[in-house]
Amino acid sequence: MGRRTPPSEIPKLNTLAGLPVELLSSITDFLPLNDRICISLCSRRLFAIFNHRTNPARPLGKDKLPVLRRLERDLPKYFVCYICHILHKYDGSEYFGLSGSVYDQEKCPLRCLPKWKEDGFDLELRDQAPIWFHVYRIFYFLHLQLAMRRFYYGEKFGISTEALSYTQVRTHPGPSSCPEITSLFSTDAQICPKTPGLCLRIQHVMFVHGRKSELLLSRQDIESAGEPPQVMFICIHVSRRRHAILLNTVVKAYISGEKAPSSTHTCDICAADSRIEVCEYGSDLALVLTTWINLGPGLTPDDPRWLVHCCSWELNRVTLDPNHRKDSPRVCFENVSPRSLEALRSCNLSYLKDQRYKRVMHQVYWERGVWDLPTKSSWGSYWFMS
């Protein structure tokens, strides 16, 4: 004897699920395949009616993405995986194993995470080889997805911008007159509601003792590419030669006697804003480079605002829409950030003064001379939806 449907589960005739099968079939005959698939997932009855009609033409692989993006809108606990081509469930853990260093990210329960390095799903936050090892931090499109998920759906979903913060210190052997040169990398994030979009503020600091300003000058020869200040990074579209010119202009102004010299630069391709300055900090000296970028709304990795910053040389040559260049990422970020640029610079310099970073940061175990700030590393249950 078959199971009888309880009265509470019987669909009403004035609802979509309660319409006669013939009428439903007539309606869906005018709908594209993606819409028919979405309707079939609304209830058990609709699935039973339409499953056989969509099975023969059911999309596979990347062809599933339009349907998955439609479903993602109504399922805020899930996000589209552009690697597996399914919906993954994010359990709400704040850090999800994605924050912190590369080592922390290896603990992430997302089994496909290593593959996000491919096909333009990771972001270039540092210069390319031979100094790729300077920053143990990778930013994936997944970070952008989950951060914007919180903006679109509220605090119960996605990750906070605080989870995207990262700070790392690296020491570099110097000449006998200056035994050690120290560099710092930090990144923090804010969502700019006007655009909307996720903006990053990336700061590099080169710190020398005793105000030895000549050590701040960039060297353009490839043999010294792994030495500071070559480890500082404006954006992927600025050549190493142009990079050295921009930095050295400010450093030479300081050497010539100008107090607290600074300059700004905006990339013609990706619209990244940057500020270069030389700061005296007690008896020491620092070259500070701050860059602001806008990664866009995180709706699709095909968005030029994401592609223009990604690691792939072929993809990052896209052209931004003029409307996307109107708002300065620096202005957007600083208007909503609770911490000013001055406060960030002061905080980062305080880590370097008297090697304070050794007391408040963790040393990266596989690399001598590298420290990073400890971050939370908690996650809960994780499963997949196919």
CB 171 within 8 A of CB 182: yes
pLDDT score recorded for residue 380: 29
Distance CA 40, CA 54 (A): 9
Q: Residue 381: its pLDDT value, please?
A: 28
Q: Is the peptide bond before 196 cis (omega within 30 degrees of 0)?
A: yes
Beta bridge pairs of residue 185? 168, 204
Euclidean distance between the first and final Cα of the chain, in Å?
Answer: 32
pTM: 0.83
Cβ within 8 Å of residue 72, ≥6 positions away: 78, 79, 80, 87
Is the pLDDT reported for residue 297 higher than 60?
yes
Reading the block at residue 120, the tokens are: 């333009």
For 52-75, how does the pLDDT look when each residue is reduced to its tens digit (9 = 90+)? 665 556 677 888 888 898 888 888
pLDDT in tens, 119-177: 668 776 654 433 334 566 778 888 899 999 999 998 888 888 988 888 999 887 665 55
Q: In terms of C-beta density within 10 A (0-12 exposed, 13-18 middle, 19 or more buried), how is residue 322 classed?
A: exposed
Q: Which helix (H) or strand (E) holds 284?
A: strand 284-294
The amino acid present at 60, given as its one-letter code, is L
| Mean pLDDT, residues 278-291 | 94
Q: CA torsion sign, 55 to 56 to 58 to 62? A: positive
> Beta strands 197-208 and 262-266: pairing type?
unpaired
The pLDDT of residue 37: 79
* Greatest mean pLDDT range, 164-173, 216-225, 250-259: 250-259
For the chain, give the mean pLDDT. Answer: 80
Helix extents (H) in the chain: 21-28, 33-40, 44-54, 65-74, 102-105, 141-153, 240-255, 304-307, 329-336, 341-352, 357-360
The per-residue pLDDT for 244 is 87
pLDDT per position as a tens digit, 312-326:
666 667 888 888 888
The predicted-structure confidence for 257-273, as pLDDT tens digits, reads as follows 999 999 999 999 999 99
pLDDT number for residue 378: 32
Residues listed for the chain: 386
Half-sphere exposure of 61 (CA within 13 A, CB side): 1
- Would you state the pLDDT for residue 217? 85
Q: Which amino acid is at 45?
A: R
Q: Among all chains, which residue has been given the structure tokens 């990336």?
A: 202
Interatomic CA distance for residues 117 and 132, integer angstroms: 14
Check whether 182 has a pLDDT greater than 70: yes
- pLDDT average, residue stretch 20-45: 79
Mean pLDDT in residue range 273-298: 95
